[in-house]
Amino acid sequence: MLRLLGALLIAGASLAIGLSYIAGEARKLNDLRSFVLLLKEMCGELGVRASPLPELLELLGRRCGGCGGSFAASLHSRMNELGEKEFSQLWNECLTVFSRYLESEEREQLQTLGLCLGRYELDRQLSELEICINFLDRRIAGYSSLLPEKRRMGLGLACSLGALLLIVLI
Amino acid sequence: MTACELLPAQYRPAILEAGKKTAEEIRLRRAQRLSLVIDGREQELGGDKLSERDLMQVLEKATGASLHSVAPAMAKGYISYKGLRIGLCGTAAMNGEQLLGIRGFSSLAIRLPKECRGICAGFADRLMENGFENTLIVSPPGVGKTTLLRELIRVTANKGVRVAVLDERCELYAEGGFDLGRCSDVLSSVPKELGASMLLRGMNPQLIAMDEISREGDIEVIEQIIGCGVALLASAHGRGREDMLSRPMYRKLFEMGIFRNILTIYRNESRRRYVLEKL
């Protein structure tokens, strides 16, 4: 009986690993979409109004949902630390919190953007924003096309592993 | 001291100490130590040499990390932060003849505004013998035109004259940092051309005060003010009456008979001498 229970637990754990992998992939995609939405809104507001960043971040924190919106709100709440810390440093610290599911290349691209925002003339900031948006859009397209396949593969591997363990243990 | 907020923490004690010695400016230069201008002379402070990053940090604090939003002010050579004027040097990014911004900052000059009560006690009444007579304050840069103008506004406004202050650079009122008297109305951050019309239409002033007339366009503004029967108190860079008369733009103003008084400031070390000439 105990053997059967142990085997079921192991099979369940395998399934959970598979599901968690799939959830992580989906979360990454959602977070990327949220960041892209944030950057597009930022691009629009900067292009039209040339808003100061504190005002812009406050607006985007309210307007954008998901981790992009939370990132903007968090960054806005820390703008009073300017003078003690550079804007790019605050940007990176907030990014570390809200980009856990992103790949290092995506995070690096966002970090590069943080080095330019608010520091250079508007045209250059807009062009950096566009570069970043295009890069993240490409990544989203890639992940989106692979997600169903990854979902099947994750579930398949988890089920196979669970079944294998069950066979071996029972 | 507002300027302290702008500077990296390591420099604040030195600046606070210097505040007691009536510093006029804080100068930050890339690869040099922080220095202060006291009585017209620059004194280097101790500590590490400044990097471009330090300068950038000051600007990020002053602009909320939004240099793009102060580009129009940058085109004039300075930005404002809570009544402080921060002069900028670096490499300009141009689009044809339009300045888009400045990169690679190499120098910052933070002007520290002051309030010196009582400096016009000796001559303020003479300016108001027959109602306020149009007066031009003249001195070289950094000698105290704005400080004197601010004090004259305060004294005049406290005597019941409605003074409309056209504070284009946010230096006179400093966002409420200075008392400009009980009958003063302040319009800040507006170009003179627009601001003068707004004040004349909306505030029914008896006197309009403005800092630093320096452009041809300012003459039209002055004509508009005088044409409406409103008195004028203004300041300009110069070394005195003769110097002003030798420059075509100001000569035109004097030939038009607009100003009745020239008030020249002379500096000797830390002391100022005020000379009032009736025209």
Give chain B's domain count.
Answer: 2
In a domain, B31, yes or no: yes
Residue B184's pLDDT band (boundaries 50, 70, 90)? very high
| pLDDT on residue B17 | 74
**Within this chain, do residues B155 and B101 fall inside the same structural domain, yes or no?**
no
Same domain as B130, residue B100 = no
In a domain, B116, yes or no: no
In the structure encoding, which two tokens stand for residue A152, read together? 């099947």
Could you give the CA distance from residue A168 to residue A164 in angstroms, rounded to a whole number?
6
Residue B233 pairs with which residues in a beta bridge?
B135, B209
Are B158 and B260 found together in one domain? Answer: yes
If you average pLDDT over residues B81-99, what whole number do you get? Answer: 87
Average pLDDT over residues A44-50: 92
Gap between the Cα atoms of B205 and B218, Å rounded: 18
pLDDT tens-place string over residues B201-237: 999 999 999 999 988 889 999 999 999 999 999 999 9
| B68 near A CB under 8 A | yes
Average pLDDT of the residues of chain A:
90
Indicate the pLDDT class of residue B18, thresholds 50, 70 and 90: low
- A contact test, residue of B12, B57, B60 with most A CBs within 10 A: B60
Q: What whole-number distance in Å separates Cα of residue B206 and Cα of residue B59?
A: 38
- Shared-domain flag, residues B79 and B129: no
B133-179 pLDDT per residue, tens: 999 999 998 888 999 999 999 999 999 999 999 998 888 998 888 99
Confidence category of residue B27, pLDDT binned at 50, 70, 90: very high
My answer on whether B198 and B258 are in the same domain is yes
Task: Quickly count: other Cβ atoms within 10 Å of residue A50's Cβ.
Answer: 17
Beta strands B207-210 and B261-268 are unpaired
What's the N-to-C CA distance of chain A in angstroms? 10
- pLDDT tens column, B255-274: 888 998 999 999 887 788 99
Across the interface, whether the CB atoms of A86 and B66 are under 8 A apart is answered no
Distance CA A24, CA A77 (A): 28
Give the pLDDT score at B20: 61
User: What pLDDT sits at residue B252?
Assistant: 86
Residue showing tokens 């017209």: B40
Q: Using CB atoms, which residue from A52, A119, A123 is nearest to B69?
A: A52
- Å from B102 to nearest chain A CA? 8
Answer yes or no: are the C-beta atoms of B81 and B74 closer than 8 Å. Answer: no
Of B94, B89, B64, B93, whose CA–CA distance to B78 is shortest? B89
| Residue B64 in contact with partner chain A when CB distance is under 8 A | yes
Under 8 Å between Cβ of B224 and B198: no
Of B111, B135, B155, the position where a domain reaches its end is B111
Q: What does chain A come to in residues?
A: 170
Which of the listed residues B51, B80, B111 is the one where a domain comes to its end? Answer: B111
Among residues B85, B111, B137, which one ends one of the domains? B111
pLDDT in tens, A73-120: 999 999 999 988 999 999 999 999 999 889 999 999 999 999 999 998
Cβ–Cβ of B61/A83 closer than 8 Å? yes
Instruction: Name the residue among A82, A86, A101 with its Cα closest to residue A35.
Output: A101
Q: Domain check: are B157 and B269 in the same one?
A: yes
SS3 B78: strand
CB contact under 8 A, B64 and A53: yes
Q: What is the mean pLDDT of chain B?
A: 89
Residues 176-235 of B with CB under 8 A from A: none
Q: For the residues of A110-151, what is the DSSP string, one character each?
A: HHHHHHHTTTS-HHHHHHHHHHHHHHHHHHHHHHHHHHHHHH
Chain A: closest CA distance from residue B39 (Å): 28
Contact between chains at A53 and B8 (C-beta distance less than 8 A)? no
Helices (H), A50-121: 53-63, 66-77, 87-98, 104-116
Q: Which residue has the tokens 């925002």?
A: A117
- Whether residue B119 is contained in a domain is answered as no
B156 and B36 in a common domain: no
* DSSP helix, strand, coil percent of chain A (3-state; round to 5): 85, 0, 10
The first and second tokens of residue B102, run together, are: 């400045």
Percent over 90 (pLDDT), chain A: 61
Calculate the alpha carbon distances from B76 to A143, B22, B30, B86 in Å: 49, 27, 21, 11
Nearest CA in chain B to A51: B69
B73 shares a domain with B154 = no
Q: Which one of A119, A123, A125, A129 makes the best mutation probe of the B interface by having the most chain B beta carbons within 10 Å?
A: A119
**Is the minimum CB–CB distance between A87 and chain B shorter than 8 Å?**
yes
More confident residue, B185 or A25: B185
Q: What is the pLDDT of residue B19?
A: 64
**What CATH number does the domain containing B199 carry?**
3.40.50.300
CA distance B60 to A6: 60
Within 10 A of B36 (CB to CB), how many other CB atoms are there?
Answer: 22
Q: Which of B159, B152, B157 is nearest to B115 (CA)?
A: B152
Measure in Å the smallest separation between the Cα of B94 and chain A Cα atoms. 10
Question: Are the beta carbons of B57 and A121 separated by less than 8 Å?
Answer: no
Domain span including residue B102 = 2-111
Q: Indicate whether B252 and B137 sit together in one domain.
A: yes
CATH number at residue B42: 3.30.450.90
Contact B93 A125 (CB under 8 A): no
Q: How many CB atoms within 10 Å of residue A150?
A: 15
Question: Do the Cβ atoms of B60 and A122 come within 8 Å?
Answer: no
Could you say which DSSP state residue A85 is in?
B
Stated pTM of the model: 0.80
Please tell me whether residues B184 and B93 are part of one structural domain.
no
Q: Determine contact, residues A117/A86, Cβ cutoff 8 Å.
A: no
Instruction: Examine the domain organization and report whether B163 and B271 are in the same domain.
Output: yes
* Chain B nearest-CA residue for A54: B64
Q: Is pLDDT above 90 for A151? A: no
A79 and B65 within 8 Å at the Cβ level: the answer is yes
Contact: B65, A118; criterion CB under 8 Å = yes
What does the alpha-carbon distance between residue B157 and residue A107 come to, in Å, rounded to a whole number? 58
